[in-house]
Amino acid sequence: MEELKIFDLYEKFNTKTAEEFMDKIDSTVDIKAEYEKVIEDTEWIEIMEETVPYIDNILRNPNRFIVNEEEIVKIELARKITVESIKHLSKNTNLIQDYDKKTGDVRPSKILNINKEENYDTYENRFIYTLIQNMKFFINKKKKAVEERQKISEKNNKELSYTGNSNYSKEKVEISIKLSTSLNSDKNNKQNNKENVLERIEKLERKITDLTCAEVYKIIDKKHITLVTSPIKKTNVILKNVNFQYAVRLWNFLQTNLDDKSKHINQKEEHSNKEELKKLADETFLLNYLILNSIDKDAIENEETQRELKSQSMTQMIERIVDLNSELSPKELKELIADKYLVVKYRNIATIGEIQRIFKEHIEEYMRKIGEKNKC
């Protein structure tokens, strides 16, 4: 990157003159700022996304128990004769209709019929069913809030008004600036960010719909069971099964995070003649004046005159040295001028009197050496 040209402007404008200009500035600066932004809370989405696979594991391998339904029916209606049926008949001989002593065959009139059924109505399954219902309610509530916040337009607008004048030297310098900025972010990216949250919510909804398609969920749903409420019972399965541990963690989160944690920031600020900002604006006034002054014809002519005077002074100095010794070679002249340059270069650490003394000593020493050489 090329060196900034503004430094050249400041170098041409000495510090004392700049301070004089700044001291005579009479200015006012007003700044307005408006900021509005929505920061969506996605923690609940993340914990649900993480927990859904564990709930799916539970529904694929649900907790169950076997229910035996016993019923004494006519022998013609018996579906299956089991060991329990025979034992029951031996204890209840009144149910025997006929007995063949020769063959030992027994013909009962009625017999015990046992129907074995798997029952999913366990506390653990009702807990998971209730958790899914809570998730559906929670998602629906959050989704509506997100959709409502999508109507909010983000803002980051700033406006600066500055007027100033300075009666510097023979000039009356005036300035008036109005600067404004507004948020120019990519609307597509902004929309994508909002849609990204909704897409995650909709994807989560589809996953929960898949959970409700599990057989155990449908069975429990048909029974219209009483939903589980807090606190959750610490059964052995819930305590020791990793899948249930994640489910309990989600349950606790939903119970304690019903409030919306998304942030809607809406700020407006106004500053009038604030010291720090006013000082910066005044310095900008000076810079603009320097820029304008850089094309001033009088200033340019004065600068050219100064360069001409410097050239004349240098020429006179060289002529004087050459007059003192006409045999001075170009190399020796360069060495002499170089000595002078070193003295001038470090003028910030020496007084004017010291510079004159050093320069005089160098000239006299050099002339003494030339004189001694001529004598030889």
What single-letter DSSP state applies at residue 166? E
* Residue 189 in tokens: 């990216």
Q: How many CB atoms lie within 10 A of CB 324?
A: 13
Q: For the purposes of burial, counting CB atoms within 10 Å of the CB of 159, is it exposed (0-12), middle (13-18) or buried (19 or more)?
A: middle
Average pLDDT per run of 10 along the chain, which is 376 residues long?
54 70 91 90 94 96 69 72 74 73 74 71 93 96 90 88 89 92 63 74 96 93 90 93 96 92 89 88 86 66 50 58 66 70 56 57 62 56
End-to-end CA distance of the chain: 58
Question: By the 8 A CB rule, do 200 and 146 touch?
Answer: no
pLDDT at 309: 43
* Residue 344 in tokens: 């001038």
Q: In the chain, what are the domain boundaries?
A: 6-61+122-271, 65-119, 298-375
User: Pick from 247, 229, 251: which is nearest to 239 by CA?
Assistant: 247
CA separation for the pair 112, 84 (Å, rounded): 8
Sign of the CA dihedral with 299 first, then 303, 308, and 313 last: positive
Q: Which residues of 251-284 are buried (b: 16+ CB within 10 A; e: fewer)?
A: beebeeeeeeeeeeeeeeeeeeeeeebbeebbee
CA separation for the pair 370, 279 (Å, rounded): 59
Q: Which residues of 131-145 are buried (b: 16+ CB within 10 A; e: fewer)?
A: bbebbeebbeebbee
Scanning the structure block, which residue is given the tokens 């304008």? 292
CA separation for the pair 277, 294 (Å, rounded): 26
pLDDT at 58: 95
| Angle at alpha carbon of residue 200, lines to 58 and 48, rounded to 5° | 30
CA separation for the pair 207, 154 (Å, rounded): 32
pLDDT at 305: 46
Strands 110-119 and 65-74: antiparallel
Amino acid of residue 273 = N
Scanning the structure block, which residue is given the tokens 């200009």? 21
